[in-house]
Amino acid sequence: MAKGYGVSVYPAISDPEGLTDYNALAGLAVRAGGGRVLSNFGRVVAHEAGITERVVLIEFDSFEQAVAAYESEAYQKALVALPDGFERDFRIIEGID
């Protein structure tokens, strides 16, 4: 079965402290949903139209598990904690067997 990955890119972070509540809630929700954070706050080298701000990569045992974790009540509560006007590019992708 192919793994699932949550990929989140933050085009700009003007107030990193504003993410404190979201980070705490999202971390709990991701772990409860079976996710493993592979990259967070690490170094980034961007090419072409890439963005050098924060990139988060989370691995799940399956694509379906990743979708279920995003749709979970716990993660939906985390999303409410994202500050107003905050921008991110989030997607769930299916890995290769």
- 85 Cβ contact partners less than 8 Å away, ≥ 6 residues apart: none
28 has a pLDDT exceeding 80? yes
pTM: 0.88
Per-residue pLDDT of 33-67, as tens digits, reads 999 999 987 888 989 988 888 889 999 999 999 99
Total Cβ atoms within 10 A of residue 9 = 19
Q: What is the CA radius of gyration of the chain?
A: 13
In the chain, how many domains are there? 1
**Residue 10, domain CATH:** 3.30.70.100
- Domain hosting 28: range is 4-94
pLDDT at 15: 79
